[in-house]
Structure 1
Amino acid sequence: MAETTLFRYRLKPGRIERLREWVEEVDSRRDEAIETLQDESVFSEAAFLNSTEDGDYVMFYMEAEDLETAHDVFESSQHDLDLEFKQLLGDIVAEDQPEQSIEPLYHLANPDRP
């Protein structure tokens, strides 16, 4: 059964445009992005932008065969796209992150999905 998670990071002020540029970059390198997911045994990944009174946040949803393995493979990845993503996070993610606990409640998947 797949495991899921959601990461939420507060952005540094004024970094939304840089994030949007990255989204366009990933979209233009879709084949490479899919290859990184395959290496990590990730089934799906999505990013969301959330703007609140206390700042802008980027959230990443991930569904993987094994989240710990996916994380380990990502951390040691030499894919250009993964290396660039790590640099992006350093550039856009604020150092002061609010305390948070994102507890998964349920995850349903249609077994007939393509």
Structure 2
Amino acid sequence: MHSELGHFSMPSVNIRESEKEYTIEVAAPGMEKGDFNVDMHDGLLTIACEKKCESESQGKEGESYLRREFNYSKFSKQFTLPDSVDEASIQANYDKGVLTVQLPKRQDDPRKQRRSIDVK
């Protein structure tokens, strides 16, 4: 029995919104903080992760994997952010197999300001 899944897997992602922030949660068990690269450029948030695996087919001594699925060795995901995100205040934290990226909303969001529009 043999199955090749490759080395690229896409983890599950949750995106939540509250009045004050957006939150992105990425399920990535077995990773370490140093495996992640979170980058923000021109309104685009990129979350990338790469884990160096010692051996893809070897398990414990005397064992080898016939199928190995719960392993994200490499992935990359991009998100286009709304204008309301305060890019300077973005924070990321990895805990218990979940990468959480907090994207606070700007306090001066122009979409939330009320203004009167003249009818001509």
TM-score calculated relative to the size of structure 1: 0.29
TM-score (norm. length: structure 2): 0.28
Higher relative contact order (CA 8 A, sep 6+): 1
Structure with more strand by fraction: 2
Higher helix share: 1
